[in-house]
Chains A and B, each alone.
Chain A
Amino acid sequence: MADRPRTLVEKIWDDHVVASEPGAPAILAIDLHLVHEVTSPQAFTGLRARGATVRRPGQTVATADHSIPTLDPSLPITDELARKQLAQIEANCREFGIPFHGKGSPTRGIVHVIGPELGLTQPGMTIVCGDSHTATHGAVGALAFGIGTSEIEMVLATQTLLQRKPKTFQVEVTGRLQPGVGAKDVILALIARIGVGGGTGHVFEYTGEAIRALSMEARMTLCNMSIEGGARAGLVAPDETTFAYIKGRPYAPKGAEWTAAVARWRALPSDPGAAYDRSIVIDGDKLEPMVTYGTNPGMGVSIGGRIPAPADVDPAAREELERALAYMGLEAGRSIAGQKLDVVFIGSCTNGRIEDMRAAASVLNGHHVAPGLRVLVVPGSQQVKAQAEREGLDSVFRAAGAEWRESGCSMCIAMNGDQLEPGQYGISTSNRNFQGRQGKGGRTFLASPLTAAASAITGVVTDPRTFASLASPAAATQAASPAAEAN
């Protein structure tokens, strides 16, 4: 098997197969299990019922992000169910010996932000979490995917999962991204092209010149939304950018272990001639800022585009588009730019990292948000929040009239009180525009932090390239400055 050229995914897979009986899925070893308050309680209950323990608490880590308020943390949590859920994860972690980055901890945050930020997420690992955006961690060259609660219980009890080997899907992005275009636009363009089920049964591996040029955080944005294209995981092969990002982080290998780890990681990238089950090429030079108009992330157009008419699409998709436009209250044929907004949300595991905060601030600096518009900026972790405050970004947001919050999933999933009201339009840097996702009856346009920030100034969906502050977009979207982020 070692003679045949293998892909990155195949190498990680082969490294982690514990056993595989004919006809049965493989037993796959899991290196890191991330846990949060929403999908884990029933798994701990199951564990308790079978009298089991957590097999590897030292390879398990928990935080509170989904239902936690982003308001002043000294205030009591008024939602009784959320309060109970948050108390439960704390109690479960205490009972089973799992490290918990909870309320009040400077290292708390969205599970997919704190994993890489703490250096827990490393190349070549298998990483799982009861959350579909676990694909984020694929940015460092790890096989990372979302699991259900039954599988959480499985991993807690055995530190393994029963898995069938996934197929591979190469997504090559050639050329160079233009100013004002970033990872969010790449992934929205991919999903618009292949559809929300296009990657089902596959794992994406993102390759090509445009991907190599992305910072680690931009790669996280990209991999994060793999699930929106139907792929359970998405990876970028580790390279110098990866190693520079990880080095010196709290849980990163140190000294001789670091040298050995980097040597191991250098062997991970797909071999020349390795075969993928499917592949697609996207011309990075031609990509433009993307915005969604509909009720799934595949319903997107470039910022200069128009909302498609049901008559112009494949007959099989016609009714779905009609329903989406009816829900969104949008007229076919109109430009996506200029659509009116009530709310702007900047944050989430997709775009809640320090580079995203910097990108949004670079546009908002010196401007004020449009009258009547609510603008919510929610850092992805307490460390992102602290870093942004050290850089004075919070002052930029506040001066512009935006709200600056504690970290959490917030309006991406609308479980913590941060939500759209029925009928409201929001432009959001998050990952899902499903009906009701950001609040019952709420209507979402998905976009990049640059586009969301530009739209915050005008109050309508706006091309970020119209703002002069984007003169140096590489600095805003792709600046990798691990030194500035390290604590």
Chain B
Amino acid sequence: MAISRDDVDHVAYLARLGLAEDERERLRAELDQILGYMQVLQQLDTSAIPPTAQVIPLQNVMRPDTPRPSLSVEAVFANAPAREEDYFRVAPVLE
């Protein structure tokens, strides 16, 4: 199956990724090639094979809910692009 420009636009929107016009066309061709290569997986019958999400034998690792020091407010905001009082300042969500 071929990757269309609409596919690229849709996926870029889902990923909140701005792309220039030439990037969109280049990515369309590259994704087409790469996903074409992935078709090799369709040769395998995996209907009876469970998926592997992770390989370690650990599940639901629990610990006591013990309070401990966390980062100071100043440390948290030290890298903030824009701050107002103790909030991250952002552009309007709704016009």
Are A and B interaction partners? Answer: no
Query: Which chain B residues have a beta carbon within 8 Å of chain A's beta carbons?
Result: none
